[in-house]
A and B are shown apart, each in its own frame.
Chain A
Amino acid sequence: MATEALGWWGVPLGIIAGTLRGSAPFLFVSLGECLTEKSGKINLGLEGTLLMGAMSAYGVSFLTQDMVGSFWAPWLGVLVAGLSGMGLGAIHGWLSQQRRVNDVAVGIAMIIFGSGLAFFLGKPFIQPQASQLFTFNWGAWSSIPAVQSALKVSPLFLIGVAIAPLMQWFFRSTRWGLYVRAVGDSPDAALAMGISIFKVRFLSIMAGSFLAGIGGACLSLYFPGVWTERISSGQGLMAVALVIFARWNPIQCLWASLLFGGAQSIGPAFQSVGIDSYYYLFNAAPYILTLVIMVITCSPKRTLIGAPGALGKSD
């Protein structure tokens, strides 16, 4: 009704709404991947981590909502999502640092393992309705329902926005941030400084996976707010490409996430005003955007500015 009354204005409004909602998982996963890659390892398995986080957040919120109430249950879910992500990250962190083991291959294996585990454990949670996270209703001033629902902002999104500058500060101004950058840029120098490369990478991957797990919680407890097996549809992988686009800079990860969230909402926004003949092609927009961005930003002749020196090199 309301959308029809808005007419064509529904499209930009839908895209803004979708950007606010859809960029949260991108933001968390890309910040996690940024931290991981700064230490010199790639974690492609964040796709599996995202699914596992989405499943465990939803499951925990559903199972505990009678015990701790419907306000705290989803927050417990968010915490468990992060911890389960950390568990998967521990496997990746340990295995990808073994001799002759390629971190990309481990990532592919972790996608299969993580998504398999999420689908296996998540089977009972496909039907029931779990408590959702509360949202800030910043649209209450408007009388138009579409505007109201568009401006429902999740606290998780705001936390993500806050983490980006925090991570920037961490890399620039703290001792631990220096360790991570040293290990990622020049493992030999880090070794000479007396830093344990294994430990720094292991912890970076674990922390990054914690963030990615929370990104999964954004999917299942905020938007779209259900648990299905198709919930992530490659967002974990797009986030990996997004980090390249953001040149390993947390602040730019934030802008890139907003861009991707917006691209993702083009299809549903057009569908809401009645144009659905190209629905599937619009839905492919984020993938095409990722590919185009990678084609533009990458170059075969030089390494990218900001790329950690040891990234993608076997040790």
Chain B
Amino acid sequence: MAIAQAPNPSPVSWLQRWRQPLEAVALPVAALLSALILFGIFCAFSGANPFAVYGSIYKAAFGNWSAWQNTLIRASPLMLTALCTALPARLGLVIIGNEGALVMGGLAAVVAGLQLGTGLPAPLTQILMAIAALCGGGLWIMLAGALRHYRGVNETISSLLLNYIAIALMNHLVEGPMRDAEFVTKPSSAELDPGLWIGNLPGSRIHFGLIYGLIACLIAYVLIQRTTFGFAARTAGGNIRAARIAGLPVGKLTLAVCFLGGSCAGLAGMVEIAAVQKRLNASLVSNYGYAGILVAFVSRHNPLATVLVAILLGGILASGGILQRSHNLPDATVLVFQGIVFLCVLFSDSLYGRLPWFQEKAVS
């Protein structure tokens, strides 16, 4: 082993060196486990066998290839909406406007897709739709960032209010100006041309949105951890006064990072429309935004961890139906579980550096 040839070849020093990184993995995992236990107790109180519930969640989320596909279909918008919280969080901003940015992105993509129609080659139109979605979501969150920077408005509250405004705007458009009179099931816009739909990965039901999500997370990781831009953003997030004194353009950073975060959620809106809904209506508001906040916090705003957590939460969301059918638990059970996970993860944050085992001991 390479470790054995290290200058200080003892297993103790190896353990020593890994204790602190181990803490960063062990605490979230422990938080998830304790959330599972608390959730089990909650299920037991409502008359369901917790172990049967665990089994059902596992089977419905990761039991077989079909379940995996369901999970991954839900994971792809989660990865994108999570970045909407995770990226500004590196700047010290708590943005929760994910749902609104998703709606604005979907809206922009549909407007672009319907306006351009089939006049241009389909791939070009799709790229233009994606750009529209990126701008729609990005500018929406950038507004919250700008209000924060220029007016000192609390970005958490303003981004949340923007959610409601975006949803109202979408409802107004699909009930009025954009309504397709021939589609009677519910107020919706006209359908996108089939040539503009996002297809599935070969041999599966999973659409290409998953690839978008993975690429976005990878780019976000590289951007935050490996570029000067990311370093500047993290510096400003760590100590904004020091960043100002060092001459960093804090305002521009705020706007840029908020734009990037929002554009990821906007892309999620485009993916949901072009791959799943095919037309704009109220079904676009399906809580992917709020679940994305949870993903971002559980993954501690690390874009790579976001991928894993999104898949995990995608599985939990996919199991909502089975909990209702075979355990007679209401569909809000999944929401309760999300809340418990969130609270446990927040509590685990307070334990960093407090558990003696994870601290580096002075090697004598």
Show the binding face of A for B, using Cβ within 8 Å. Answer: 44, 91, 95, 98-102, 104-106, 108-110, 112-120, 123, 233-234, 237-238, 240-241, 244, 277-281, 283-284, 287-288, 290-291, 294-295, 298-301
Task: Identify whether the interface residues of A are mostly helix, strand, loop, or mixed.
Answer: helix
- Interface membership of B135, Cβ < 8 A: no
- Interface membership of B172, Cβ < 8 A: yes
- Interface membership of B150, Cβ < 8 A: yes
Measured in the bound complex, the distance between the Cα atoms of B164 and A241 in whole Å is 14
Measured in the bound complex, the distance between the Cα atoms of B22 and A105 in whole Å is 24
Report the number of A-B residue pairs with Cβ-Cβ less than 8 Å. 140
Nearest chain A CB to B306 CB, angstrom units: 16
> Contacts A117-B336, A233-B164, A287-B168: A98 and B149 contacting too (C-beta < 8 A)?
no
Nearest chain B CB to A250 CB, angstrom units: 20
Measured in the bound complex, the distance between the Cα atoms of B147 and A284 in whole Å is 19
Contact B350 A281 (CB under 8 A): no
Contact B336 A116 (CB under 8 A): yes
Choose from B154, B163, B335 the contact partner of A112 (Cβ within 8 Å).
B335
12 CB contacts below 8 A, A to B, read A95-B343, A95-B347, A98-B350, A100-B349, A101-B346, A109-B342, A113-B340, A116-B335, A116-B336, A116-B339, A287-B164, A299-B152
Contact B152 A298 (CB under 8 A): yes
Contact A300 B158 (CB under 8 A): no
Nearest chain B CB to A241 CB, angstrom units: 5
Chain B residues within an 8 Å CB radius of A288 = 165
Contact A120 B330 (CB under 8 A): yes
Chain B residues within an 8 Å CB radius of A283 = 168
Contact A106 B161 (CB under 8 A): no
Task: Identify whether the interface residues of B are mostly helix, strand, loop, or mixed.
Answer: helix
Contact A120 B336 (CB under 8 A): yes
Chain B residues within an 8 Å CB radius of A240 = 157
- Interface membership of B308, Cβ < 8 A: no
Nearest chain A CB to B319 CB, angstrom units: 15
Contact B294 A112 (CB under 8 A): yes
Residue of chain A at shortest CB distance from B335: A116
Chain A residues within an 8 Å CB radius of B330 = 119-120, 123
Measured in the bound complex, the distance between the Cα atoms of B343 and A110 in whole Å is 8
Chain A residues within an 8 Å CB radius of B347 = 95, 98, 101
Show the binding face of B for A, using Cβ within 8 Å. Answer: 46, 94, 96, 147, 149-154, 156-158, 160-165, 168-169, 171-172, 175-176, 290, 293-294, 297, 329-330, 332-340, 342-343, 346-347, 349-350, 352, 354
Measured in the bound complex, the distance between the Cα atoms of B172 and A288 in whole Å is 15
> Contacts A105-B297, A117-B339, A300-B150: A284 and B332 contacting too (C-beta < 8 A)?
no
Choose from A99, A100, A115, A291 the contact partner of B161 (Cβ within 8 Å).
A291
Contact B352 A280 (CB under 8 A): no
Contact B332 A116 (CB under 8 A): yes
Top 3 nearest A-B pairs (CB, nearest first) are A113-B339, A116-B335, A119-B332
Chain B residues within an 8 Å CB radius of A281 = 168-169, 172
Chain B residues within an 8 Å CB radius of A116 = 332-339
Nearest chain A CB to B323 CB, angstrom units: 11
Residue of chain A at shortest CB distance from B176: A277
Contact B168 A284 (CB under 8 A): yes
Chain B residues within an 8 Å CB radius of A295 = 147, 151, 153
Contact B153 A112 (CB under 8 A): no
Measured in the bound complex, the distance between the Cα atoms of B149 and A101 in whole Å is 24
Measured in the bound complex, the distance between the Cα atoms of B158 and A98 in whole Å is 26
Choose from B151, B171, B346 the contact partner of A299 (Cβ within 8 Å).
B151
Contact B157 A294 (CB under 8 A): yes
Chain B residues within an 8 Å CB radius of A101 = 346-347, 349-350
Contact A109 B151 (CB under 8 A): no
Choose from B151, B172, B337, B346 the contact partner of A280 (Cβ within 8 Å).
B172
Measured in the bound complex, the distance between the Cα atoms of B169 and A17 in whole Å is 26
Residue of chain B at shortest CB distance from A233: B164
> Contacts A284-B169, A287-B168: A108 and B151 contacting too (C-beta < 8 A)?
no
Contact B153 A298 (CB under 8 A): yes
Known: A101-B346, A112-B294, A115-B335. 20 other contacts (CB 8 A): A99-B350, A100-B352, A102-B94, A104-B156, A105-B346, A108-B297, A109-B339, A110-B343, A116-B339, A119-B335, A120-B46, A234-B161, A234-B164, A237-B160, A241-B154, A284-B165, A290-B157, A291-B161, A294-B157, A298-B154
Interface centre among A102, A244, A287 (most CB of B within 10 A): A287
Measured in the bound complex, the distance between the Cα atoms of B160 and A35 in whole Å is 22
